[in-house]
Amino acid sequence: MTVIEKTTSRIIYTARAISVREDTVSYLDGRQEIREILLAPQGVLILPVPTEGSIILTKEYRHNHGWVYGVPMGRMEASDPSPLDAAKREIQEEVGLSSTVWTLISTHHNGIHEEGLNYFFVAEGLSQGEHKHDVDEDIEKAEMTFEDAFRLMDEGKIVDLRSRGCIWAGYIHLLRRDK
């Protein structure tokens, strides 16, 4: 059942932030199958750590979920030279912070049928500035412990799997580093 090649590829849907590509793949036994691939922009997710044991999340209104918590995040823009530059921009825009210590802790795709790499960062050495929310964002900053965040996950108040992953990856990163 090994794939020989992708024989055709075409965009079948385009929206503001995503597109869907349809690929035809050929197998050694002569079969051909259609595979849909979600084309999402590259994204950055940041876990700000102001003090040991404390993290900063966002509290944001989402029309389909109500008030939810998550890590500061956003997509990479064409003007961002690198994922780190995008992370620096997003943390400033969403929670008004800048950081002197950045650690890339993970990269991943959201699924096997999706393109668009995500970068997880831990940000330390924080200083407060002013946020620069996008016009369509209603975001509050929420400082808490990891245990508070885990409780919010249990209560279904951190609904985004990428935020959950960034919190868990950051927690594990800090535990390993501090050993």
Which own/partner contact pairs does 127-130 have at CB distance under 8 Å and 24+ positions apart?
Answer: 127/97, 127/98, 127/99, 127/100, 128/96, 128/97, 129/92, 129/96, 129/97, 129/98, 130/96
pLDDT at 164: 96
Q: Between residues 110 and 168, which one has the greater pLDDT?
A: 168
Q: 3-class SS at 44? A: strand
Q: Please check whether residue 57 is in contact with residue 67, taking contact to mean a CB–CB distance below 8 angstroms.
A: no
Confidence at residue 132, expressed as pLDDT on a 0 to 100 scale = 76
The pLDDT assigned to 179 comes to 77
Query: pLDDT (tens digit, 9 = 90+) per residue, 96-146?
Result: 999 999 999 999 988 888 888 999 999 999 998 877 777 777 789 999 999
- Is the Cβ–Cβ distance between 123 and 104 less than 8 Å? no
Average pLDDT estimate for 37-59: 95
Strands, E assignment, 28-71: 32-39, 43-48, 54-62, 66-70
Nearest CA among 39, 18, 58, 2 for reference residue 113 = 39
Cβ contact 44:121 at 8 Å: yes
- Cα–Cα distance, 179 to 176 (Å, whole number): 5
Q: What integer pLDDT is reported at residue 112 of this predicted model?
A: 83
Position 131 scores a pLDDT of 73
What pLDDT is attached to residue 129? 83
The confidence score (pLDDT) of residue 101 equals: 97
Could you give the maximum distance between any two Cα atoms of the chain, in Å?
60
> What's the whole-model pTM score?
0.88
Mean pLDDT, residues 15-31: 91
Distance CA 87, CA 28 (A): 43
Given this model, what pLDDT does residue 1 score?
Answer: 60
Written as six digits, the tokens of 79 are 């003007």
Number of residues assigned to the chain? 179
Q: For position 113, what pLDDT does the model report?
A: 87
The predicted-structure confidence for 52-93, as pLDDT tens digits, reads as follows 889 999 999 988 889 999 999 999 999 999 999 999 999 999
pLDDT score for 58: 96
Q: Say what the pLDDT of residue 29 is.
A: 87
- Please determine, for residue 147, whether its predicted confidence score (pLDDT) is greater than 70: yes
